Amino acid sequence: MAAEYFVLIIGYVFGFYMSWNIGANDVANSMASAVGAKAITIRQAIFIAGILNIVGAVFIGSHVTDTIRKGIVSTDILTDPHMALIGALAALLASSLWVSFATWKSLPVSTTHSIVGAMVGFGIMAGGFSVVNWGKLGSVVLSWVVSPIFSLIIAYVMFKIIVRLILVRKAAFIHGMRLSPIFIGLAGFVVVLSFLFKTPLGNTLALSDATAVLTAAFLAAVMGFSGKWLLGRILRNEADGDVEEIFRRIQIGTSCYVALAQGANDVANAIGPLAVIYFLVKTGGVAPTIPVPVFLLMFGGVGIACGIGMAGHRVMDTLGNKITTLTNTRGFSVDFAAATTVLAASKLGLPVSTTHAAVGGVLGVGLAHGFEAVNFTIVFQIMLYWVLTVPAAALTSMVIFKILEFII
């Protein structure tokens, strides 16, 4: 077998391993609030995430990837194809190992920041400290603080609004049904805007901001009233029912959005470096951006589905059960806060992580019931791993780079 095809096989193995880790950690923690609030079971979460991640990756995932994720490392170091090949392999394996370690510890970390750290490690080994864009790396560090706090505040306020308008009222179920179009519409507005602003599908449509907002508002109104009609059909025998049942149904919808969006966005973390290796082996050269074949997107989607199915329960348990007690109204507040935070930050150009936003949201609804309702020991453990993610992935990538440089 020719040496380049042996390298390509190794790339496939590392790429699948990274996809598996995205499913086991990143996707799992994004669906944890729905599982923790018992809107869906772990088995249903695995099914939803498995199918919709593949659909998101293949149909609305990016078909072009940046050679160096997020522009944190200069593309000048890619002039040597052999160096780029070793760097892509080292980055994939280093980021995968760190996320695997965090998953084994049942702690949610950002796979995006892990691959960024691994790329920084490769960049330093290949071209020195000058090739790293320290300003952009600083914005990653800033996101560790900004996104959880922003999400915490939104989740806290949203849950307090639900309490004030619905939960403390007599006949809370009737009030919940009456106001359901507003909450469904709000969630729908954020979801539609996220697809229009954040996904490759939105980039293809290329709507102006004003048109996107008007489109989202119109579709949100349709979703709100259609959702109320559906809830009326589903819960028609529960005139004096539990208001949590209303929000349980809404959360199922938000969980589907999370799975679809992550398939579209996060698959690039695994498939980006693999696409670089594939492109190098096939053409012998590399460019700042390269095409990603559909079969590679599907390959990444299947890896994500396997990861959440085999190990997703560990992180789901931490986020859904160990920080604070989640109900469906709290879970809805967490989902809404996380989606709004990621949407707002992406418009501001901040590289925030869904993981950090989700943890901030869970903290927010916990604090709505007082400090004693939050397990701060787990929260501090999670934050420690966030801080360690970039340097740990960078150092591991440096070591693997030197080993591969000696072998290949």
Q: How many CB atoms lie within 10 A of CB 134?
A: 10
Q: What is the pLDDT of residue 239?
A: 60
User: What pLDDT, in 10s, does the model give residues 107-150?
Assistant: 999 888 898 899 899 889 988 888 888 888 888 788 878 889 99
Higher pLDDT, 29 or 169: 169
Gap between the Cα atoms of 193 and 215, Å rounded? 8
| Of the listed ranges 78-87, 302-311, 371-380, the one predicted with least confidence | 78-87
Gap between the Cα atoms of 93 and 90, Å rounded? 5
Gap between the Cα atoms of 259 and 295, Å rounded? 19
Amino acid making up residue 127: G
Give percent above pLDDT 70 in the chain.
92
**Summary mean pLDDT of the chain:** 85
Who contacts 156 (Cβ-Cβ below 8 Å, separation ≥6)?
Answer: 333, 364, 365, 367, 368
Gap between the Cα atoms of 316 and 299, Å rounded? 24
CB-side exposure of 157: number of CA atoms within 13 Å?
10
Q: Residue 362, exposed/middle/buried by CB under 10 A (0-12, 13-18, 19+)? A: buried
SS3 371: helix
Range of the domain at 277: 1-407
Longest Cα–Cα distance in the chain: 74
List residues bridging with 132 in a β-sheet: 73
Give the model's confidence band at 351: pLDDT under 50 very low, under 70 low, under 90 confident, else very high: low
Beta-strand ranges (E) seen in 52-123 are 64-66
**Average pLDDT, integer, range 236-254:** 80
The answer to whether residue 384 scores a pLDDT higher than 90 is yes
The answer to whether residue 394 scores a pLDDT higher than 80 is yes
- DSSP letter (8 states) at residue 349: T
Q: How many CB atoms lie within 10 A of CB 380?
A: 10
**Average pLDDT, integer, range 371-386:** 92
Give the model's confidence band at 70: pLDDT under 50 very low, under 70 low, under 90 confident, else very high: low
The answer to whether residue 379 scores a pLDDT higher than 90 is yes
Q: What is the pLDDT of residue 308?
A: 85
The pair phi, psi for residue 237, each rounded to 5°, is -95, 10
The pair phi, psi for residue 153, each rounded to 5°, is -65, -45
Q: What is the pLDDT of residue 102?
A: 95
The pair phi, psi for residue 337, each rounded to 5°, is -65, -45
The answer to whether residue 67 scores a pLDDT higher than 60 is no
Q: Are 308 and 23 in contact (CB under 8 A)?
A: yes
**Average pLDDT, integer, range 19-41:** 83
Q: In total, how many domains does the chain have?
A: 1
User: What pLDDT, in 10s, does the model give residues 249-308?
Assistant: 888 888 777 777 777 767 777 787 888 888 888 887 777 677 788 888 888 888 888 888
Give the model's confidence band at 152: pLDDT under 50 very low, under 70 low, under 90 confident, else very high: very high
**Average pLDDT, integer, range 9-32:** 86
Gap between the Cα atoms of 121 and 88, Å rounded? 11
Give the model's confidence band at 196: pLDDT under 50 very low, under 70 low, under 90 confident, else very high: confident
The answer to whether residue 396 scores a pLDDT higher than 90 is yes
**Average pLDDT, integer, range 389-407:** 93
Give the model's confidence band at 180: pLDDT under 50 very low, under 70 low, under 90 confident, else very high: very high
Which element (helix H / strand E) includes 291? strand 289-291
